[in-house]
Amino acid sequence: MDVDLIVLGSGTAGVKVATRCRVAGWRVALVEARQFGGTCALRGCEPKKVFWTLAEAAERAQRLSAKGVGGGGGVTLDWAAAQRFKRSFTDPVPESRRESLERAGIIALHGQPRFLGPDRIAVDGQEIRFRHALIATGAEPAELPIAGRENLSTSDDFLSLEDMPKSLVLLGGGYISFECAHLARRAGAEVTILEGGDRPLAPFDEALVARLVEKTRALGIRVELGCKAAAIRADAGGFRVECGDGRSFAGAMVLHGLGRRPALSGLGLEAAGVPVEKGRLLLDPYLRSTGNERVFAAGDAAAQGPALTPVASHDAAVVARNLLEGCHTKPDYSVVPSAAFTLPPLAAVGLTEAQAKERGIDYELREGDMADYQSVRRTGEDTAAYRLLVAPGSGAILGAHLLGPEAPDSINLFALAMRAGMGAEALSRMMTAYPTGGSNIASMLG
C-alpha cells in the first residue's frame, strides 16, 4: 500500500493531522496499537475530570450541609458507581473514533507499527510505503531504577479501578499523584504521597502549592517530603515502599507518579533514520525529525511543549500546515495555561515568581486571599488565593496563579489577555458576568 501520510496514534494530535491532510486530498492511513481514541479521551484528562466532577459535587454538598443542602453531610463518592458513569463516556470512544476516521476516508489500521526503512513501515505484516509519517504515539510512564518496580500500578490502572483500595501510596509529587490522591481520599482510601524533593507540584507557584499541601494534609492525606523511593516490596495485604532514608510506607496499591516519557518503544526508529536522545526524538523547529525529513512528531511523543491536550492540538495545527504548505511554521508555547484538578484546583499561566527572579525580570506582585470572595464563600470552600506578576510601567501580565473553585476557568481569561497583549489595567476594566470567578479579576488587579 502507498500513502501520502501515515499517522501513528489515534489521539488528539494524530487525528487532527490525519483529518486535515485527508481534507486536502491526501491518501492517509492511521495506525493505533492500543484502543482507538488516545490517552486524553480514554485514560487521561477526560475520564479524570468525570471523577473530579463527582468528587467535587459530593464535597460541596458536605461543605454546604449546614447551609441548606439537605442530607449533604452524608454525601460521599461511590467509586464503583462513579466508574460506571465514567465508562459511559469512555466505552463508546474506540468504535466511534474508528468509524469517524473511516467516514473521513482515512484508512484505520489496528496493530503495532514498525519502521522498515526511511519510507516504509509494517503493521502486522502489511507493508506500507509513505511520503510522510507522523509519530503521535503519546507518552507512557517512565522506567524507574527502583527495586520491585514491577509492583507499581499506573494512572491507567487507577482510573480503571472497579473498587477503591483501602490504602494507596503514590510515588512522586506531581499533578498525577495529587489528582489521584484527592480522588482516592474522597472515595474513602488512606493515602500517602511520597515526594523525593523538598516541594511537590514544582511547575506551579510555590506559595499557592504550600497552601494546597496544607489543605491536602488537612483532608487526611499524608504528604511526605524528601522521601525518595528505593524499593517496593510485597507485604501482607499489599506492598511496602522503602525510602532511601529508612522510612517505609505500606499500601494496598502503589502508584507510579514519577513522570512520563514519549512512547517510542517498538517503533523501529533506527531503521527509519529517526534519531533519539535520552528517550526523546530529535526534532527541528518545525517538529520534523533531524534525521529523516519525511517524519514529523506532535503532542506528547514530540515532547517539545508541556504534556497537555491543547499543546497536542497546537502541534497538530503546526505539523499539518508544514506538511501541506512547506516548513515555515514553528510551535509557540509561550502562553500555555494549565491546571491541577485537586480540590480545590490549582491553575497557572506564564512565569512563576521564582522564574522571574531567575531570569532577572522585574515584576510587581499582586496577591491576596479569596476565601471571602462571594464566588468562593458561597461554595463553602475555605482555601482560595491568587498571585499575579505584572510588569512595572507597561502593566503587561507576566504570570497568573490561582487556587480556588473556579481557578481552571478563570486562568483562561488571563491566558487570553496575555495572548492578546492586554495589560493589567485593560483587563481590570473588562466587563464580566457577575458574580463569577471571572468577575474576581478586577479585584485581583485593583
pLDDT tens per residue across span 139-151: 999 999 999 999 9
pLDDT in tens, 24-75: 999 999 999 999 999 999 999 999 999 999 999 999 999 998 888 877 667 8
For residue 304, what are the contacts with CB-CB under 8 A and spacing of at least 6? 283, 287, 315, 331, 333
Q: Does the annotation flag 49 for ligand binding?
A: yes
Angle between helix axes 12-23 and 309-325 (nearest 10 degrees) is 30
Q: Does the annotation flag 350 for ligand binding?
A: no
Looking at per-residue pLDDT, the higher value among 125 and 33 belongs to: 33
Q: Is the pLDDT of residue 417 over 70?
A: yes
Q: Does the annotation flag 175 for ligand binding?
A: yes
**Average pLDDT score over the chain:** 96
pLDDT in tens, 63-102: 998 888 877 667 889 999 999 999 999 999 999 999 999 9
Rounded to two decimals, what is the model's pTM? 0.95
Instruction: Give pLDDT, residue 72.
Output: 67
Query: Exposed e or buried b for every residue in 414-426, given b needs 16+ CB within 10 A?
Result: bbebbeeebbbee
Q: Does the annotation flag 178 for ligand binding?
A: yes
Three cell numbers written together for 413: 481569561
Cα gap 113→6, rounded to integer Å: 10
Instruction: Give pLDDT, residue 446.
Output: 81
pLDDT in tens, 154-208: 999 999 999 999 999 999 999 999 999 999 999 999 999 999 999 999 999 999 9
Q: Does the annotation flag 176 for ligand binding?
A: yes
* Contact by Cβ (8 Å): 253, 238: yes
Q: Does the annotation flag 300 for ligand binding?
A: yes
The angle formed by the CA atoms of residues 439, 334 and 19, to the nearest 5 degrees, is 95
* Contact by Cβ (8 Å): 18, 42: no
Q: Which residues pair with 258 in a beta bridge?
A: none
Query: Residue 187 burial (CB < 10 Å; 0-12/13-18/19+)?
Result: buried
Q: Does the annotation flag 246 for ligand binding?
A: no
pLDDT in tens, 315-327: 999 999 999 999 9
Phi, psi of 94 (to 5 degrees): -55, -50
Closest listed residue to residue 107, CA positions, set 37, 264, 2? 2
All structural domains of the chain: 2-141+261-325 (3.50.50.60), 149-258 (3.50.50.60), 344-445 (3.30.390.30)
Q: Name the DSSP class of 141.
A: E
Instruction: Give pLDDT, residue 359.
Output: 97
pLDDT in tens, 229-242: 999 999 888 999 99
